[in-house]
Structure 1
């Protein structure tokens, strides 16, 4: 980092805080709808940009490139499939979420089932944010600081955590959304620059494919592949995707802030197109770093250092600062999103449970005060990451595989099947939680296991997700049939209760349907072309 690079980074911070201050000023009312959902008046472009920017965190930039350097493009399947799951969010889930008028996903579960599933999802979401989003984002950010800026791991991470927390507390979701859009542009420009200069360094796309080998450029891996077997990708990854993209507060809060169903749906379609870019912008640079390291042109200490090492070696003064700003943008957009989403759950699902008549100003205050303990817990969890996986992105996905199947089952079956009841949902969540925690404990202890326990501990996490999901669906359906309830909370929140009414159906499918259908078909075509080209 030269002086000009530091100037660019400083300019980025000034710009981010300027946007955040502007957003905070626009938030005139100190009420919960404005602070947590930006007044429910956000357009499709901001929603789509925020979905992409908040999802592409530093764990993506560091982890995707690192896994790409270690094993090739197969890890990009998660990004490609995300485009399809985003269409599912926009077309299937969004109409029911906006119709229900909820602030949080746990609140939706209470409206659909009962209070028990709401409390479970609220608690498990907060724990999940600490184990996956907060801690992994901070850890990946620390790698960036050490490799590129020469700043101590903890010092650099804490600086960004505090800075992000300040503007999130100031402006609420509106500040998060506006800064996300800015960070999306910075992130994309920086990533394109790295990929372009990296390809030039290796001699172009053709030279990269020849030198890296065809296996590295194959999205489809055999059943025996330890990380990305094709069965796990096709049947396991979508389960993780439904949980993350369609039921996780961290993501869904953006569409809950939409001006209407059409803006929410179109925002998800826009994000679906953007999610086809990480293969080229984040995974390919990792492969480039591996090729250059094999030539001896750069020194790669470990795969997770692929992107920072590439930036330090190839980028000129000034542009390096811009790319570092892009890395910081990814880090800060993810942290601001998780801070705001987590504070929403703490406030609306935990605090309001005990203070149901709390004033609006109290709710906003609690939302602003609820992130400190979560940041500390995230920092404390970082040392345990390496015990589960040496590659950050694979760790993130594997943890999600243990907590996502029961949640995905309860949401998906709950919307599609009106007969599902609270007892079935409670048992499905309980069984899924016990089995998921059991698998996590086994994986942490695998060095001391043998026999069937070792097999259970080392089975691919995507295959584990498939088994857990099917078991949870079976439990939900079975208990709902065996233990019927006289009153099922389903009015207007399932297909059978909505699409039986022509007026309700028209409201749910409002907007320019033909245009959105055409745009959605375009996403399917792009995914098909990527699957064919990288097969």
Structure 2
């Protein structure tokens, strides 16, 4: 890494930190309302910026581009389908959450069902965040930074003196550096600090993401430049420019209508890490505008989350990039592409934006973990008479414990071939039962709390067994994992409805408006949502070649 790259990286990283401190220096960080919900003051630009960057982290930049390197355009389904889920969030889920004035999803389930349902959901969320989400964010972030800044080369001498593999040493070092910095952001600043830094970084990463695509096609085109690179890419990957995944891809077409759609619905409507910033909206209208703006921006996602991975595939075939071990490793493709095509000053700028994205996802998940623990377990179970100061302090202490555990787990993920596929498979273990319970709770009035508790516990156990316990893993292997998630979801919904018929609540549930925010909806929410859905179908159909389904069969 040259001096210009390092200086520009440090400059832009420091600039984001300074701006974030300046904007949030007078915020309320001492009360639970101010620390966990930004005092319910977030407007739609901050909501959209924070939503986008919390999602747009290295598990997306590195993982999804890695999948595009392996499977082609069909993996864009994760970006395209999520827009439909965001529309549903704006129309259906967000009004119900804001009406109850909740700070967490489990808190909503306590209102709809009972306290035990809230505690079970909190525990499932926390186990998943500590064991799955936070380590993956750190691992993919480290892989991206190692490739872009050539950290392996920087620590080569130290690794040799320690008699360890340079890449392994670089991985541990970057994981711990990012983890510590991210913890400081999340644990000392609260949700508004996270949202402000997210919005600043989102601008840089959004611009940087498009720069990667532009420079990569320009380098690929050689003397013919950008347009020539595009022509070479199309010619080299005609069959891979297909939005329809065949049986040999990691997103077969049929799974769109089962596990993939369900995972997107949960992620954008019920995942605490993502939707917590919508709970901090100053009004329902601001929340809806923020969510739908995020959906509009996600339509551009394939241009910087899929196309670079495909370009890396062509550049590898033409000898324009080389993998450290000789054999291609999909998770390393994006970092190597960035290092190859960007000039030094821009490499430092993009590395700063990328580390901002890593910090965004990490500190958002960490902030959500603290919120779930402090408001859901510490305040309601462990210390019911806790003061505001004690509640906030408990979240900070718990956050440091969680962060350290995640930093130890993250480097152990290095053997995963498709980190994005692994993330989605692991997410399903807790996504599916929680989403089934939230959805049934919102659309029915008589389903009792016992149904929710059975669905949460049984669903979680079934999905864990299906992924890790023989002979259940053999049964799951006979179908695609995303189809398995769809079957389990349908089974849990039916189970809850049956219990609701056999043992209904004594009285119908009636949701009360607690007056937390102005509940006047945005007048354009429905037409804008319909327009976004129409664009989604247009994009998908424009690149669809269904003949691959006949070939696969």
Fold match (TM-score > 0.5):
yes
| 1:205 maps to 2:230 | yes
Distance 1:239 1:161, change over 3 A: same
Indicate which of 366, 387, 396 corresponds to 1:339: 366
The CA deviation string for residues 487-519 of structure 1, in whole angstroms up to 9 with x for no partner, is 45x2216xxxx9xxxxx9xx75x2441x22232
Q: 3-state DSSP class of the match of 1:42?
A: coil
Q: Distance in 1 between matches of 2:300 and 2:206?
A: 9
Q: 3-state DSSP class of the match of 2:190?
A: helix
| Per-residue deviation, 1:143 | 1.1
What corresponds to 2:379 in structure 1? Answer: 352
Q: Distance in 2 between matches of 1:119 and 1:517?
A: 35
The CA deviation string for residues 105-150 of structure 1, in whole angstroms up to 9 with x for no partner, is 1110000001121111101111111233210111112212322223
What corresponds to 1:275 in structure 2? Answer: 298
Indicate which of 236, 240, 243 corresponds to 1:219: 243
What corresponds to 2:318 in structure 1? Answer: 295
Q: Distance in 2 between matches of 1:512 and 1:423?
A: 36
The CA deviation string for residues 363-410 of structure 1, in whole angstroms up to 9 with x for no partner, is 1111222212212322333355366x4111111011112222211111
| Per-residue deviation, 1:258 | 0.2
| 1:481 maps to 2:490 | no
The CA deviation string for residues 399-452 of structure 1, in whole angstroms up to 9 with x for no partner, is 11222221111111111111222111111112211111101213xx6xxx7xx8
Q: Distance in 2 between matches of 1:176 and 1:49?
A: 11
Of the structure 1 ranges 116-125 and 254-263, higher mean CA displacement relative to structure 2 is found in: 116-125
Question: Matches of residues 84-99 of structure 1 in structure 2 within 5 Å?
Answer: 84-99=84-99
The CA deviation string for residues 139-181 of structure 1, in whole angstroms up to 9 with x for no partner, is 1122123222233111122112111211222221010000000
What corresponds to 2:104 in structure 1? Answer: 104
Q: Distance in 2 between matches of 1:29 and 1:122?
A: 23
Q: Distance in 2 between matches of 1:407 and 1:112?
A: 13
Q: Distance in 2 between matches of 1:386 and 1:440?
A: 19
Retained in 2: the 8 A contact 1:191–1:326? no
Distance 1:207 1:37, change over 3 A: same
What corresponds to 1:244 in structure 2? Answer: 267
Q: 3-state DSSP class of the match of 2:241?
A: coil
What corresponds to 1:501 in structure 2? Answer: none
Indicate which of 498, 511, 514 corresponds to 1:492: 511
Retained in 1: the 8 A contact 2:179–2:407? no
What corresponds to 2:462 in structure 1? Answer: 435
What corresponds to 2:201 in structure 1? Answer: 183
Q: Distance in 2 between matches of 1:476 and 1:6?
A: 56
Q: 3-state DSSP class of the match of 1:47?
A: helix
| 1:531 maps to 2:549 | no
| 1:520 maps to 2:520 | no
| Per-residue deviation, 1:3 | 1.1
Of the structure 1 ranges 351-360 and 104-113, higher mean CA displacement relative to structure 2 is found in: 351-360
What corresponds to 2:428 in structure 1? Answer: 401
Retained in 2: the 8 A contact 1:401–1:461? no
Q: Distance in 2 between matches of 1:528 and 1:212?
A: 23
What corresponds to 2:308 in structure 1? Answer: 285
Distance 1:97 1:324, change over 3 A: same
Retained in 2: the 8 A contact 1:74–1:220? yes
| 1:415 maps to 2:415 | no
Q: 3-state DSSP class of the match of 1:371?
A: helix
Q: 3-state DSSP class of the match of 2:103?
A: coil
Question: Matches of residues 140-219 of structure 1 in structure 2 within 5 Å?
Answer: 140-151=140-151, 152-202=170-220, 203-214=228-239, 216-219=240-243
Retained in 2: the 8 A contact 1:20–1:167? no
Structure 1 segments unaligned to the other structure (5+ residues): 499-503
Retained in 2: the 8 A contact 1:406–1:469? yes
Indicate which of 491, 508, 517 corresponds to 1:471: 491
Distance 1:511 1:424, change over 3 A: closer
| Per-residue deviation, 1:318 | 0.4
Q: How many residues align?
A: 512
Q: Distance in 1 between matches of 2:182 and 2:370?
A: 14
| Per-residue deviation, 1:346 | 0.8
What corresponds to 2:162 in structure 1? Answer: none
